Every structure is written in C-alpha cells, then in structure tokens.
Structure 1
Amino acid sequence: MRLVGGDLRGRRLEAPAGRDIRPTSDRTREAVFNILAHAEWAPEIEGIRVLDGFCGTGALGLEALSRGAGHAVFMDQGREALDLVRRNIAALGVGDRSTVLRADALRPPRAQAPCPLVFLDPPYGQGMASKSLTALMERGWCVSGGLAVVETGLEDPFELDLERFDERVYGDTRVYFLRIT
C-alpha cells in the first residue's frame, strides 16, 4: 500500500497484519481522488478539514493530507486500527495536521468542527454505511452541502435519500459520492 498522489506520493503505508482491517485498494483510492480532483461538484481539498470514518490504516485521510488537506480526523473504534493509523501518521510526519479519535461512527461524539469532505469505509455486509452517515450528520461532523464519499460492498444497501453526484464500482466495492444535507 502506498499513497498515490500529492506531496507524499509513493510513500508506503503500513498494512494490517490480519483480516480485521480491509484497506481501500490503491487503485480504488486513486480513482476516487481523480474524481475529486476533476468533478465540478467536488470540494477543493486544499486546506480543508476531512473525516476518515472507519479509518483502518488511515489511507483515505492520509491521501487527502498528501493532496493538501489542512487537517484530517481519523475515527475508528478498533485499537489495532488506531495503533496502525498512528504509526502511519508518524511515519509520514503529518501528526500536526491529524487527530486520531477512538469512537464508533454509529454513535460518534459531537464534532468540535464540521468537515466539508467525509470518507466512510465501514465493514462490508453489516449495513453500517447509511446508519453511520446519518449519525455523523446528526452529531455535527458534516458540513451541510459538503461531500460524503461512501464505500460499500456491492450487495450492501445504501438507503439514505441524498443527492448522488456519482456512483462507481471497483471490483467488489461500490463508491457513492453524495451531497451532505
């Protein structure tokens, strides 16, 4: 696993040892960030605050930092994931622009500041995508009118009635680009 763009392009990320953490593939991450760079509906990443919910390795938030995001919040409830993302943050030297938060995205704490760009990559097959995005919106994590990039398994339902800018399939992953309300 490596960062695919920005100032830290090519830098390796530590990958998880077991199967409990499923990182977004380099190919999918590159495609997502290419869409974000060229779509007229996507926010400018430079200087913004992003949330990487169900962060795992932190690859999505770290990719955003590499591409100029001002700050990334990495949220996960798993100790292994949080240890891994902390090591990746330290290895890349972006600790001054990162917050690591042990929290459940289904029951998040109230946000200190909202994020115009939210990445969610919950475990597949558990129906968590809609529920977690709803909880994050209710707890102030999302800027109204901002963008949520949500990954699900191909067969996973996504039931929120939000404006869909785009929807893509990469292997066994479906990626939604949604306007936050």
Structure 2
Amino acid sequence: MARSSSRKQSTQPLSQLRIIGGQWRGRKLQFAPVEGLRPTGDRLRETLFNWLQFHLPGAQCLDLFAGSGALGLESLSRGAASVDFVELNPQAARTLNQQLQLLEATDGEVHNCRAADFLVGGGKPYDIVFIDPPFADDLWQESLGALTGRLSEGALIYIETPRDTVISAANDWSLIKEKRAGQVCMRLFRNNSDTTTEH
C-alpha cells in the first residue's frame, strides 16, 4: 500500500510481491515502483487473512487505495467472488491491470480514480472492504464517511494505520480484531446494521 502522498513516477524496474495463500499461493507478481508505494508485508497479510479466512469465499470485496493490489489479489486467490481495485496513480493502476490479465482473473476490476469519487458514484454493497491509504494523506475518516450505503449487513472493514492513529468508526460498527505490529496498527470492524440503499 502507498505510504506517501507524492506518488511520483519511476523508471526503476517493477517490484514484486508474493501471494501467500489460495489458488495462486507462491505466485510472484509485479507492482509499479511508484514512490512511497509498498504492499502490506507478508506477516501482516497472513494475520489479516487468518482473520478473514471464513468470510472470503463468495465475498464481494473492495480494495480502496489499492496500490500494489496485494490485499485484493490475495482475496481473489482465496475465493472472493469479486474485487474492485481503486487506485489513483495511473502507473500503479495500469500495472495492476496487467497482473490481473496474467492471472486470468476476470473477477477483478481496476478503477483509476479517487477513492471518494468511486464511493460517491453508487453501486453494489460490499462484504469486505480494505482501507489502507497513503499514511501521509490522513484519508481514513473521509473514506469511512463515504462508505455509508456501500456496505452489506455484517460487512467487515479492515483499516491499516500508523500505530497511534485514532479512528472514529460509525456507531453501528464493532471492533472485532486489533493488532499492533511495529509502527502499524491493524483493525477489523464489523458493520452491524444494513446501511445499503437502493441505487
């Protein structure tokens, strides 16, 4: 995921990430060398997907601030029905599209736009949402507010922040998992009410 707001283009070779579970386990994929962008590490991803293992099969997922696409690709590998990847940087979005084509992953779609613009556009409700924006941009609360009407009942929302960041979640969300690792805090919330609306 991205850790910087600059997102400058680079002429460096593409970097790699490894899918750690599911049908593409061990598969190495490339992601764009955009400044400040790096995928959630293997150990954190392993923890997260242990939390999600019984919820992923058949789930409709949303990977906001997708960056490398590590979380969404891992979800597809482990049986998610679909993943929408939202990524503002054109180079990162283009590379992610290429990786989906290499995997022949027809259930993944990349949206090259701002996360807030994607959410306000309306659409299907999601069962699992990943929110890991560039740490320097402080976009967590904006993203959480924009999720209104886009969550299924019982949806799970994963939020990755700097260790001491305070999150104001919706009143009908419950915190079900939390872990701090190094300078990162991982949180998993559950939406306890049906906030979806007709579109």
TM interval, short-chain normalised: 0.7 to 0.9
Measure how far apart 1:15 and its partner are: 3.2
Aligned to 1:67: 78
Q: Does 1:110 align with 2:121?
A: yes
Could you report, residue by residue, the CA deviation over 1:11-46 in whole angstroms, capped at 9, with x for unpaired residues?
Answer: 012133242323111221111001222xxxxx6211
C-alpha displacement of 1:88: 1.7
SS at match of 1:119: strand
Please tell me the residue identity of whatever aligns with 1:106. Answer: A
Larger of the two Rg values belongs to structure:
2
Query: Secondary structure of 1:89's match?
Result: helix
Q: 2:50 aligns with which of 34, 39, 54?
A: 34
Match of 1:90 in 2: 101
* Aligned twin of 1:40: none
- Please point out which of 4, 25, 28 is paired with 1:9: 25
Q: 2 CA distance for matches of 1:44 and 1:118?
A: 12
Contact 1:127–1:157 under 8 Å retained in 2: no
Tell me, in whole angstroms, the C-alpha distance in 2 between the residues paired with 1:144 and 1:65: 21
Match of 1:175 in 2: 186
Q: Give the equivalent residue in structure 1 for 2:111.
A: 101
Aligned partner of residue 106 in structure 1, secondary structure: helix
> Is it true that 1:158 corresponds to 2:167 in the alignment?
yes
What's the counterpart of residue 24 of structure 1? 40
* Residue 79 of structure 1, CA deviation: 0.8
Task: After TM superposition, give the deviation of residue 98 of structure 1 in Å.
Answer: 1.0
Q: In structure 2, the residue corresponding to 1:14 is in which secondary structure?
A: strand
How many residues align? The count is 173
**Deviation of 1:48 (Å):** 1.5
Counterpart in the other structure of 2:92: 81
Shift of 1:151: 0.7
Unaligned runs of 5+ in 2: 1-16, 194-199
In the aligned structure 1, how far is the partner of 2:140 from the partner of 2:41?
Answer: 18
C-alpha separation between the residues in 1 aligned to 2:182 and 2:77?
25
Q: Is the 8 A contact 1:55 1:76 kept in 2?
A: yes
For normalisation by structure 1, the TM-score amounts to 0.87
Query: Matched residues, percent identical?
Result: 32
How many angstroms does 1:99 deviate by?
A: 1.2
Unpaired runs of 5+ in structure 1? 38-42
